[in-house]
Amino acid sequence: MKKLLLTAFTLFISLGSFAQAKLQSPAEFLGYELGDRFTRHHRMVEYFKQVDEAQTNVQVMQYGETYEHRPLIYAIIASPENFKNIEQIRQDNLKRAGMADGNPSTKVAIVWLSYNVHGNEANSMEASMKTIYELVNPDNAKTKEWLKNTVVIMDPCINPDGRDRFANFFNQNGNNPPNPDPQAREHAEPWPRGRANHYLFDLNRDWAWETQIESQHRIKIYNQWMPHVHVDYHEQGYNNPYYFAPAAEPLHEVITPWQREFQNTIGRNNAKYFDEQGWLYFTKERFDLYYPSYGDTYPTYSGAIGMTYEKGGIGAGLTVTTNEGDSMTLKDRLTHHFTTGMATIEASSMNANKLVDEFEKYFKETINTPSVPYKTYVIKGDNNADKLNKLTSWLSSHSIQYGHASAGRAAKGFDYQTQAQNNFSLTTDDVVVNIYQPKGRFITTVFEPQSKLTDSMTYDITAWNLIYGYGLKAFALNEKIAVAKLYQAKKVVNEAVANKPYAYLFRYESLNDVEFLAALMKKGVKVRSSEKGFVLDGQNFEPGSLIVTRRNNEGVADFDNVVQSAAKALGRKIHTATTGYVDKGSDFGSSDVNYLEPPKIALIGGDQTSSLAHGEVWHFFEQQIHYPVTVIGTDYFRNVDLWKYNVLIVPDGSYRLFDEATLGIIDRWVNDGGRLILIAGGTSAFADKKGFGLKEYATEDAKKQAEKVAKEQQEKEGPVKYGDAERKQLSNAIFGAIYKVSLDKSHPLAFGLGDTYYSLRTNTQHYTYLEKGWNVGILKGKQKPVMGFAGVKINKALENTMVFGVEDKGKGNVIYMADNPMFRSFWENGKMIFSNAVFMVGQ
């Protein structure tokens, strides 16, 4: 018997002849017809294993495990002949992509089908079982023919935790028989719904950033295969019909004519089968190819024909009555997904030769003749070492090549810090990433200073640049700079540590430093922080630097060992001081050196909070800095003893919770020494409220100004046409654009960040400067995003507004954040600001 392999990518060791189990259909195996129930994830895994055991040309493997310990699996399905050469086929494909050396000897198309990235778009996983069965069903002559020149890889469920959350909800709440009334409870999933993963991340926004364990595992195997066609299966609202590619504008300019053309070929083949049945569908609308972190764009920027397929079905349960009075069943939905799967494999098989040739051509062009203006990205070697190490390991995870130049010299490029072309000196310590490599187009999409937007109406954010996210000194160059030497990771070298020093000193500049601070606090070590910079033994320590004195830590058993081993475990540089008397700045006993009280953190979660925003904070504490957090539900918030905590975090959301009585309790708690951290919608819930100094920007002057700008715009463009109405809304809109925020770097909220922060703004809220309080991050003067799209009215309204502010109240503080710095958890500097709010402010 072939066994499901438990380690990722120990490929094909179980080939050969085995005692064969009999192949069962899904109905035979499950005991019910597909579509009669929502199958739980483990049953699907067992079914795939059954197919693997019954077939010599199928291999099912586990490639990872979710946060809730469910297996992540994928299946390889090929003709018996191809299956014998499957490792050769995989290697040959990497050779075509320029990711392995040598000349290919096989020529086979590779189609990859991914299902159920959104857990409550639940038809997909059901469809995957029908699809794998028909691919190996001995009575199916068509699939046998297709497999002769096409290998199919299936990931039957990208998001098992979310999928089971949905299936369990439905199985527990559904009527028997199923109720088609749209108002029935079975059609109204409660917060947080099944869409996202365990930490409530949208895995279809995470392909590029890989913040989640599911993405990290999947990207590894994806890059070991590099398929030619990739389909990401979804569902949309059940009153919509079916969407399949070709995609809508905007399409990023790195997408090739061939990629557009073959989307069309596949689309027409899908349409053929839908036409035969009279099923409705649409193409070329709504779903664009721009933001690089989707299940369609990531493959597209990696050379595949990447596509999203969407069946109407979210909330439909097993059956529902649509607006048009039709009944929509799970059986129909999975049949539609099954149909596009088959049609896509068929179209790929019919064009397999061309598909493989064009794939090879794509990479030849990518590697030899890239057409975009910026050819090399230089990230200065004197950036913070933790950030460089993190960024380079991210590059490696995507099979991106980088390293150092052979020699230093003068160079010129777009300077991300000034947004202008500047001269600079390239050194052999700088990290060089050029685009003459297989992942060249993907590199362009994440690093280019400005992406061309063919249409300002997009499904997602319009800016995401990692260089701004990390706040790095970097340049984009029009010339190619070759990588001559392997990157030398920045390692901390600790010199001999003084015996029983007066104090240990640590810099505080990165999230690794935050994690270290959290580790010390968990061990009961008392830590201080210098609000001002100081000089000791000729070394500069910036504001925020951590000071661990021997005095006050007498209670910590084996103190020196505890501090030193925590520092070594997290790669921190240990500095020691034999005196508290500094050369310049405040001595360690000064009132400018604050004792940092360990935060006891409460985080609001549940209905009214944005599940995504809640998850971002939850994941940050548990998985990134490993610090405890207590989640408190909005449904019983009023009954909790807030005084058990000294930090309360209100993530983005849309709140009814904060009425006069609740605000009164929070007001008292802050006055007693609590620290309230408000983010985006959490911030707006406290605007113009009694006891809180935050004011929404709505003065008559500002309104008049914004109207004037809009009027001028209209005079230029003429009256609005009916068909343009949707587009007209854009002057008020913002789709995730990056603004340059000026920081007051003397305030603890800005520690480790310098005087500029690039904020990824995803909402239109704007506030006046705090009258009583610290305006730590502001948008000063005229506004225009450094990257991305924002309407004219919005830019006007953002002039001279507060983005990050701190109000001191009684013994406590309120931290207002207009933007969400935790958005999708890929903005390194955003997480630093948030960390400062948690650990540094008000201490």
- Which positions lie near Zn ion, rule CB under 5 A? 118, 121, 234
State the minimum distance, in angstroms, from the CB of residue 839 to Zn ion: 36
633 Cα distance to chain centroid: 25
Here the tokens at position 644 are 């058990």
CB nearer Zn ion, residue 163 or residue 747: 163
E-strand stretches of 44-94: 58-65, 71-77
Closest CA to 497 of 589, 583, 552, 578: 578
Closest CA to 682 of 666, 702, 671, 698: 666
- Tell me which long-range contacts 102-108 makes (C-beta under 8 A, separation of at least 24): 106/82, 107/149, 107/352, 107/353, 107/356, 108/78, 108/82, 108/149, 108/150, 108/151, 108/352, 108/356
Closest CA to 460 of 291, 709, 622: 291
CB nearer Zn ion, residue 179 or residue 308: 308
**Number of residues in the chain:** 843
Region for residue 555 given its phi and psi (left: phi exceeds 0; alpha: psi -120 to 50; beta: otherwise)? alpha
Closest CA to 545 of 506, 573, 571, 584: 506
State the minimum distance, in angstroms, from the CB of residue 332 to Zn ion: 18
State the minimum distance, in angstroms, from the CB of residue 653 to Zn ion: 21
Rounded CA separation 204/232 (Å): 9
Give the C-alpha distances (Å, rounded to integers) separating 201 from 119, 165, 459, 669.
11, 14, 17, 31
CB nearer Zn ion, residue 58 or residue 158: 158
State the minimum distance, in angstroms, from the CB of residue 7 to Zn ion: 30
DSSP H/E element including 803 = strand 801-809
State the minimum distance, in angstroms, from the CB of residue 287 to Zn ion: 10
Neighbouring residues of 810: CB distance < 8 A, sequence distance ≥ 6: 670, 671, 672, 673
CB nearer Zn ion, residue 92 or residue 121: 121
733 Cα distance to chain centroid: 22
CB nearer Zn ion, residue 234 or residue 796: 234
Residue whose beta carbon is closest to Zn ion: 234
State the minimum distance, in angstroms, from the CB of residue 84 to Zn ion: 37
Asked whether 2 and 75 are in contact (CB, 8 A), the reply is no
Packing angle between helix 352-368 and helix 330-350, nearest 10 degrees? 70
State the minimum distance, in angstroms, from the CB of residue 231 to Zn ion: 13
CB nearer Zn ion, residue 248 or residue 400: 248
β-strands 503-506, 546-549 pairing: antiparallel
CB nearer Zn ion, residue 193 or residue 675: 193
State the minimum distance, in angstroms, from the CB of residue 762 to Zn ion: 19
DSSP secondary structure, 496-538, as one string: PPPSS-SEEEE---SHHHHHHHHHHHHTT---EEESS-EEETT
Packing angle between helix 213-225 and helix 385-397, nearest 10 degrees? 50
State the minimum distance, in angstroms, from the CB of residue 636 to Zn ion: 31
Give the C-alpha distances (Å, rounded to integers) separating 763 from 664, 684, 725, 732.
27, 11, 21, 10
CB nearer Zn ion, residue 193 or residue 234: 234
State the minimum distance, in angstroms, from the CB of residue 117 to Zn ion: 6
CB nearer Zn ion, residue 121 or residue 509: 121
State the minimum distance, in angstroms, from the CB of residue 460 to Zn ion: 12
Rounded CA separation 568/782 (Å): 46
Cα-flanking dihedrals φ and ψ of residue 426, to 5°? -80, 130
> Which three-class secondary structure state does DSSP give residue 320?
strand
State the minimum distance, in angstroms, from the CB of residue 204 to Zn ion: 6
Rounded CA separation 602/410 (Å): 52
Asked whether 544 and 752 are in contact (CB, 8 A), the reply is yes
Closest CA to 612 of 823, 311, 303: 823
Rounded CA separation 117/230 (Å): 13
State the minimum distance, in angstroms, from the CB of residue 308 to Zn ion: 8
Asked whether 476 and 374 are in contact (CB, 8 A), the reply is yes
State the minimum distance, in angstroms, from the CB of residue 118 to Zn ion: 4
Asked whether 124 and 113 are in contact (CB, 8 A), the reply is no
State the minimum distance, in angstroms, from the CB of residue 289 to Zn ion: 15
β-strands 630-633, 601-605 pairing: parallel
Give the C-alpha distances (Å, rounded to integers) separating 673 from 231, 378, 592.
53, 46, 19
CB nearer Zn ion, residue 309 or residue 757: 309
State the minimum distance, in angstroms, from the CB of residue 570 to Zn ion: 37
State the minimum distance, in angstroms, from the CB of residue 259 to Zn ion: 22
Closest CA to 38 of 134, 117, 127, 114: 127
> Which three-class secondary structure state does DSSP give residue 540?
strand
CB nearer Zn ion, residue 121 or residue 616: 121
Neighbouring residues of 348: CB distance < 8 A, sequence distance ≥ 6: 109, 111, 146, 150, 228, 229, 266, 355
CB nearer Zn ion, residue 118 or residue 198: 118
State the minimum distance, in angstroms, from the CB of residue 195 to Zn ion: 7
DSSP lists the bridge partners of residue 584 as 535
